Each structure stands twice: as C-alpha cells, then as structure tokens.
Amino acid sequence: MNRLNMNFPQYKYDIVIQNSFSNISSEIASVWSGDKIIIITDDIVEKLYLDQLSVELHNICPAIYSYAIPNGEDSKCFLVLNQIYDFLLSRHVERTDLIIALGGGVIGDIAGYAAATYLRGISFIQIPTTLLAQIDSSVGGKVAINFHGYKNMIGAFYQPLLVYINTDVLKTLPVREYKCGLAEAMVHSIIADSSLLECICENACNGNDTKDHIQEFIYRNCRIKVDVVLQDEKDKGIRKILNFGHTVGHAIEGLYGYQFKHGECVSIGVVAAFKLSVHFKLINVEKLIYIKTILSDLGLPIKIEGIDWLNVVKRIQFDKKSKSEKVEFILPVDIGEVISYEVDINSTLAEILAD
C-alpha cells in the first residue's frame, strides 16, 4: 500500500493506493460516519465492481444505494445531473450522508459536482477505476459537467474525504482506456519529471507493467499532481501547468462530439504544444520528433486526418484560460519544464497547428 497526504490549511485527506478493496471500509470509517452511502457509477463499472464494493461497505453502513448512469462523456451533462439529484431526493439523502464516485473521470466529475451542489455540499469519496482517473482526474478536487459541447464549463473546486485507488480494477480496463491514462502520465513527465518519461519508455512502451510497477507508477504520477495542487488549489498560478496538452485537447473533444477519448485528444494536444514551442523557438524540433515517437510507441494518436484546425481555434476562444484575443498555453522548454505563453487566437495559430 502507498499513501499520499493532501494537507490543505483548513482540511486534509489521504490518497490510498492499494491492490484490493479489502481495507476500504476501515479507511472510510476513519473519515466518515453517517446513515446512508450513495454509490454513483456507470452501467459498465456497475456490472464489474458494484457488488464487490457493496459487500465491503456493509461492514460500516447497512443503508447502501446505487445509481448507474450510461457510460461515456455524453453523460456529463445537466440532464444526467438532474437525474442524480432526483435519485438523491428519492432516497432522502441528508448532509451527513456520503456519495461515492465509483468509475472513471466522467463519474468522478459528475458525482463530485452533484456532491458539491446538493444541499450546498455533502461528503464524497473518489474510487477511480481507470488509469487516467487514478493518476489525474480523481486527484485535486476539480469537479464539473460539460455544457453545449464545451468541456468542464460548469464546475467547482470540491475536495473529497478520501481517494481510494484499487489498482486491481485495471485488469478489466480496455486497452484503449489504459493508453488514455498513459497520455496523462506523459503530461506529468513533460511538465515536471523527465525521469518519469524514462520510466514510461522502459516499462509501458515495452508492456512491462507488473502489479508492483503499476502501484509505484500511479504513486509517482499522483505525487506530481499533489505537489502542484497543494501549492495552488484554485488554479490561479502554478496549477495551470497541469493544463499542458489540454487547451487543444479539450477543443478537439468538444468539436468532434467526444468521439475521441480524452487521453487521445490530450495526446494530440501535447503534440500541438510542442509544435507551438518549436514555432516560437522555445524548444528544438528534435524534442518534438522524440515526443511524437514515444506517443506513437504507446499507441496514442499524434494526428487526426482531416481535422478542422480553424474550428479548433474558434473553440479555444471559449477556453477557461483565454483572455480576449489571446489564450494562455502551457508550452515546453525542455522535458520536465514548461512555461506559460500567451498566443494570439487567429488563423496563423491554426496554420501552425495544422503544419
């Protein structure tokens, strides 16, 4: 077992990395006591892990209810959020009760946002079941839904009581989803830890992910995110470096109706950021070629044929980091180091990205 501590000035919680659910009831009991637990999950994870988790939770709470939403990014919307609210009302959920998000990034985001807003905030716990959610979206307290095709446009900062990572659930994770998690690991390595990139090349690229390695791998990624978030919980300063690859990635996701996975769009966004760095002479082209090679070796896309870059740029205008006719990109100056760089939003930007 590995454990990380999120110690904010006014509250703290742990990120527990384990290879089973065997001690989850004691972990939850140490931070929460109440009458009801509501598990929000999706219709795929429900079949795989809901029963297993419920058995463990009955050790500390007899009243356990679950609500499953359709799997996929399309569910991260007001319609489904309202359905969750209806379910919470139907079960007479009170402020002392607990919401558990059991699933990937979509579940963590929408269940977390429901918890943040229902009764002005009730306790919740993250149990991420995808590699991407385990190393990224479950850590840091960002919760949100999409709005009119724009990613995470409606949201809040709302920290959980606990993040419980069971690495054993990754055995049922589809290969495509696993690769999406590696895209976020690439982000962490490029912004903060070049040695993590070496680890990705030595292990993930060669299929050497043993159980012991994956726990350490998740720990190293979470450590990076924890260190950044503890310095800047509300995304006003250094936390912006975590947006590396996401400015373009989110625009592509929304523009193409979420037909591409988040990690796949982040991969394209990473390449786009390196293209911009090369254009502005912040980094040499050899680093761009190097990163493209690694992404390809991981089975991640480095381009999408026929992409409409002009419309991607138009989408970027609505990015949360845009300011008037400029957008704040996080761009690499070396492997393990990035800077904030303001770029004009115009047709020239589309030409650079399309090159």
- Of 152, 172, 192, which one is at a domain's C-terminal end? 172
Could you tell me if 334 and 219 lie in one domain?
yes
Task: Give me the CATH number covering residue 236.
Answer: 1.20.1090.10
Q: What is the dihedral of CA 103, 244, 236, 216, to 10 degrees?
A: 50
Predicted confidence (pLDDT) per residue in 160-208, tens digit: 999 999 999 999 999 999 999 999 999 999 999 999 999 898 876 555 5
Q: What are phi and psi of 353, to 5 degrees?
A: -70, -30
For 73-90, write each residue's pLDDT tens digit: 999 999 999 999 999 999
pTM check: above 0.85: yes
CA distance 29 to 31: 5
Query: Quick one: CA dihedral 21, 25, 26, 29, positive or negative?
Result: positive
Q: Based on the domain organization, do 197 and 286 belong to the same domain?
A: yes
pLDDT at residue 212 greater than cutoff 90: no
Domain identity same for 158 and 232: no
Name the nearest CA neighbour of 274 among 295, 292, 296: 292
Same domain? 159 vs 201: no
Same domain membership, residue 334 and residue 287: yes
Q: Mark whether 113 and 216 lie in a shared domain.
A: no
Both 136 and 254 in a single domain?
no
* CATH code, 28: 3.40.50.1970
Domain boundary among 172, 206, 229: 172
Final residue belonging to a domain, choices 137, 172, 207: 172
Burial state string for 149-166 with b = 16 or more CB within 10 A and e = fewer than 16: ebbbbbbeebbbbbbbbb
The distance from CA 102 to its chain's CA centroid, rounded to whole angstroms, is 14
pLDDT band at 43 (very low <50, low <70, confident <90, very high): very high
What percent of the chain lies above the pLDDT cut of 70? 96
**Mean pLDDT across 19-28:** 96
pLDDT tens track for 266-309: 999 999 999 999 999 999 999 999 999 999 999 999 999 999 99
Whether 154 shows a pLDDT value over 60: the answer reads yes
On whether both 165 and 184 belong to a single domain, the answer is no
Same domain, 291 and 328: yes
**pLDDT on residue 320:** 55
129 and 193 together in one domain: no
Number of domains in the chain: 2
- 215-258 residue pLDDT tens: 999 999 999 999 999 999 999 999 999 999 999 999 999 999 99
Q: What pLDDT sits at residue 122? A: 97
**Plot region of 201 (φ>0 → left; ψ -120 to 50 → alpha; else → beta):** alpha
Stretch 316-339: mean pLDDT, rounded? 84
**Do residues 202 and 216 both lie within one domain?**
yes
Same domain as 219, residue 117: no
Alpha carbons 28 and 53: distance in angstroms, whole number:
12
- Average the pLDDT over each of 41-45, 89-93, 324-328 and give the range with the smallest value: 324-328
For residue 252, the enclosing domain spans: 175-354
What integer is the mean pLDDT of 119-136?
A: 97
